[in-house]
Structure 1
Amino acid sequence: MASLSLWLFSGLVLLVGLERVAELIVSNRHASWAFSRGAVERGQGHYPVMVVLHSALLVGAVAEAWLTDRPFLPALGWTMLVIALGSQALRWWCILTLGNQWNTRVIVVPGLPLVRRGPYRFLPHPNYVAVVAEGLALPLVHTAWVTATVFTLANALLLTQRIRVENDALRELAVMS
C-alpha cells in the first residue's frame, strides 16, 4: 500500500504540472504580443528538447518515488519543499517583472531596453536560477535523487546553450542600456 506521502508528493508534482500549463498560456499570449511588434525568435532548435526535459522531470520524479518506494525524509523533504516553492515565487516574480517580454521561448522585440528591475537588478538570468533550484529540489521532496541528478546535469547542458542564444539575441536585437 502506497504511503500518504507518495500521494501528497504526486499531488504536488501535478500542481507544478498545472503551473507549467499556466506558464505556456501566458507565454503564448506574450509571444503574440511580441510578434505583433516585430519580434524575432532565436533558438527554436533547443526548445523541443527543453519541453521534453522539463516534462521528464515531472514524470521522472513521481515514477522514481513510486517505483523505488523511496521514503519521505522529513529533514530533506521539508527543506526541498521550501526551496521548490521559493523557486515558483522567483519564477513568477520574473514573469511579472518582464511582463509581455517574458516567454518560455527566446523571443526578442527589437529595440526594447533590457529589463533591469525586479530580480533582474541582482542577476542577469534569475528565471534560470528558479529552474535550477526547482529541478534539484522538487524530486528531492520525496528522495528521488536519480531524477534530481539526471535533470540537473542535462539541464546544465541545455542552459549553457539557452543562455548563449538568449544573450546573443539580446545583444543583437535589444537596446543594451
Structure 2
Amino acid sequence: MSSIEATITKGTQEYFLDQVREEIVDEVPSDPYWGTDQFLPLKHDTSISTLVMTSLPFADGSFRTDAVYVLECSSTPTSPGTALLQGVSSNSLAEYTGIDEYRRVLYVGVTSNLVRRLDEHLNSPADDGAYFTAVYPPVRLLQVGWFRTYRRAERAEKITADLLQEKFPNDFVAYPG
C-alpha cells in the first residue's frame, strides 16, 4: 500500500469514527432512567404502536436503512427462573453476574429493521436471540444511528460500544458483536 493509499484509508477510518461519535455516542444522555422525569413508554407498553412512536424521533428521512441502536436496560435483572422459562440458558445467566455493580446497563445492537428488533427484544427476547435483554429488559431507546449498508452498521456497533464504555466507565455496555 502506498503512503497516499494509507493516508486515504486512515482518513476514511478517522472520518467513520468521528461520524459514530457525533451521530450516536455524543447523543446518548448521561442520566440513568431512574434519575430522570422522562416518561418511559417501553417500561409500560411494548405494543407495536408504542415501538413505532418510540422509534419515530430517530428517523432522519434519509435512505440509510441499517441502524445501530443504544438501549438502556433495567439495572435489576429478571429472576433467573423467569429468564430460564424464556429460553435463556444457565450458561448465559452465569455470564451476566456482577452487572448490578454498574450505574447503568446499556445495550448496543445492529439491525436492518429497528421496530422488528425492538419488538424481539421486548416481546420474545430468547426466541429471537436477544438473551441479554431477556435478563435485563430495555426501558428506553437512547439513540439510533443510520448507515447505508449493514456491514458499515456492524462496524459502527463495535465502535459505538467501545466509545460508550470509554465515555461512561461506570456503565455496563453489552453488545453481541
Task: Bin the TM-score by the shorter chain.
Answer: under 0.3
Report which of the two has the higher share of helix.
1
Q: Give TM-score scaled by structure 1 length.
A: 0.27
TM-score, L = length of structure 2: 0.27
